[in-house]
Amino acid sequence: MMYDFPTFEHVNYINDRPAPCFDLAKSNITPSWKGTIDDALDLSFVGASDPKGLPELRAHLGEAYGVDPARIVLTNGTSEANWLTYLSLVSPGSRVLVEKPIYTPLLEIPRALGCAVDTIKRRAPDFRFDMKELDRKLSKGVDLLVVQNMNNPAGRALFEEELRDISRVAERYKVPVFCDEVYRDFAIDYDGGTARNAFPSLVELDERAVVTSSVTKVYGAGGLVTGWMVAPKRIADRARLLKIYTTPMVNHQGERLALEILRNRHKVMPKELSALREKLRLVSTWAKGRDDVVWSEPDGCAVGFLMYDHKMSSIEVCERLYNDFEVRCIPGAFFHQEGGFRIGVGRPYDEVKGALKRIDEYLDTL
């Protein structure tokens, strides 16, 4: 039976209508790399055809994650990496436990592959796991556990202690963990010129884990279509085999530019992340000034979740914000999380500030 994919409402909500005056819908930032990566342009890559991609990028990522580069699979963005992860780890009838709320494809892809999908809540307002509930659900028999770090739509992180707890519970039941880490580098601190992340990648703690990421969200380089998967070698080898059947090519020029971005991020990202955190403080201060909202303070991520104390669906709230107040946010319903909406702070400070003023005006009418 053909699987009937549901409409990808979140993406359509952004792409199928004009951008308003105040657009808080996207989850990336847009650093300028002009003058930093220009020398990496190389026309020889136009005809490149190695599906394994750029060896230097694999080596750089291997060093960053502390793994053999043979465990790195270069992909066309995180989306392909996520597909390859599922294709490599599950089959029809597999039992998959997925965190909720979550980015829609991470829930729908295993369903399309014929898996039995159950969910475990990261409950608002702090969007943490209940470890007892996780233990109980894994004890019933699960073939794969799926989490995000940071979570989308809440921008909340799983820090090292919680990652170790998750890994320990999963190991008890011999369940591999797949973690989408596309927002993880928002938590990097560049103090003293050394890039240190506030929490480790799951592959640093769990030898059976699989993680995916890209340069799309944190580095604002979605046009490079460059991502990766980090996995145990057996799984990585299978993913490379499967990739030949999906999109056998990669963007070699994109990978060269991505490598230069990662090598030179210390020149650009401190200022960008400082500006991002200023905008997060702006939203936090604004939310504390209202008695009808709760802002789930993201852990440095470019998105966060705003809960409201009104008996209206999130789609209704966001539609009126868009149509009557020219502000676009993403309804929580698109992430299976009613009672709030996702706010992205990747736009300039004054635009975020202006949007909050419009949201104020709207909430004051309720």
pLDDT in tens, 270-329: 999 999 999 999 999 999 999 999 999 999 999 999 999 999 999 999 999 999 999 999
Percent of the chain topping pLDDT 90? 84
Are residues 90 and 13 both part of a single domain?
A: no
- 49: pLDDT strictly greater than 80: no
**What's the confidence (pLDDT) of residue 225?**
94
Q: Quick check: 327 and 361 in contact, CB under 8 A? A: no
The last residue of one of the domains, among 245, 264, 283, is: 264
pLDDT for 70-122, tens place per residue? 999 999 999 999 999 999 999 999 999 999 999 999 999 999 999 999 999 99
Say if 1 falls within a structural domain: no
Are residues 274 and 230 both part of a single domain?
A: no
Query: What values do phi and psi take at 128, rounded to 5?
Result: -100, 160
Kindly state the tokens that stand for 111.
């369903």
Kindly state the tokens that stand for 322.
């868009």
Number of domains composing the chain: 2
- 7: pLDDT strictly greater than 70: yes
Say if 95 falls within a structural domain: yes
Q: Report d(CA 250, CA 50) in Å as an integer.
A: 8
Are residues 174 and 320 both part of a single domain?
A: no
Q: State whether residue 198 is helix, strand or coil.
A: coil
**Hey, which residues does 212 pair with through a beta bridge?**
180, 229
Are residues 190 and 258 both part of a single domain?
A: yes
Q: Report d(CA 117, CA 113) in Å as an integer.
A: 10
One-letter identity of residue 353:
K
Are residues 242 and 285 both part of a single domain?
A: no
The last residue of one of the domains, among 231, 264, 297, is: 264
Does pTM top 0.85 for this prediction? yes
Q: Report d(CA 157, CA 184) in Å as an integer.
A: 8
Say if 317 falls within a structural domain: yes
Are residues 278 and 175 both part of a single domain?
A: no
Are residues 73 and 161 both part of a single domain?
A: yes
Say if 182 falls within a structural domain: yes
CATH number, domain at 97?
A: 3.40.640.10
DSSP 8-77: -HHHHHHHSS---SEE----------TTTSGGG--GGGGG---TT--HHHHHHHHHHHTS-GGGEEEESH
Q: Return left, alpha or beta for 254; rule: phi > 0 is left, psi -120 to 50 is alpha, else beta.
A: alpha
pLDDT for 234-259, tens place per residue? 999 999 999 999 888 888 899 999 99
Say if 90 falls within a structural domain: yes
Say if 4 falls within a structural domain: no
The last residue of one of the domains, among 246, 264, 282, is: 264
CATH number, domain at 275?
A: 3.90.1150.10
Find the range with the poorest average confidence among 33-42, 169-178, 226-235, 352-361.
33-42
Are residues 285 and 234 both part of a single domain?
A: no
Are residues 260 and 280 both part of a single domain?
A: no
Say if 74 falls within a structural domain: yes
Q: Report d(CA 328, CA 342) in Å as an integer.
A: 10
84 or 194: which carries more pLDDT confidence? 84
Are residues 319 and 258 both part of a single domain?
A: no
Cβ of 257: how many Cβ atoms within 10 Å?
24
Are residues 234 and 278 both part of a single domain?
A: no
Q: For residue 317, give its domain range.
A: 9-30+267-363
Say if 85 falls within a structural domain: yes
Kindly state the tokens that stand for 81.
């990496």
Kindly state the tokens that stand for 244.
């030949």
Are residues 178 and 137 both part of a single domain?
A: yes
